[in-house]
Amino acid sequence: MVLKVIIIFFAIGNFSSSNLLGSEFIKKVLPTLQKKCMSCHREPYKTKYGRVKKPKGKLILNTPNGLKKSVIPNNPEQSPLFKRVTLEKEDDEFMPPQGKEDPLTKNELENLRDWIQSGAKTGTWKGTDLSKQN
């Protein structure tokens, strides 16, 4: 009986912490990605003229699977996404490129770093539908 209670306690604790980290992503990281990254880095789509637009650098950030390819959980410094947004602004690889969006703020960078450092969980997020933004 005691063992059963302990197992349930740890199961609930793990579930809650993964949801908490995912909720931090939804609250603190996702809005930045939506505002500053996803207009260029999204799944291929057709424009109103029928032209297929593909993501820049083949990097998709509007789906959990696409986002997972750009981060190394628990290692922001090795994560391609974090590396690109922390380069010098004059670097050709810096994101977002000059003239597109403003660079990430200090707070946005801290949120991104903390999220990756804590495991890069996306919680209940299933992706961002950008079909109405063609």
Q: Let me know: does 76 contact 82? Beta carbons within 8 Å.
A: yes
DSSP label at 123?
T
> Model-level pTM?
0.79
Phi-psi region of 7 (alpha: psi -120 to 50; beta: other; left: phi over 0): alpha
| Neighbour tally for 115: CB within 10 Å | 23
- What pLDDT tens digit does each residue of the chain (134 aa) get? 544 544 444 444 444 444 446 789 999 999 999 999 999 999 998 888 999 999 888 899 999 999 999 999 999 999 999 999 999 999 999 999 998 999 999 999 999 999 999 999 999 999 999 876 65
How many residues in total does the chain contain? 134
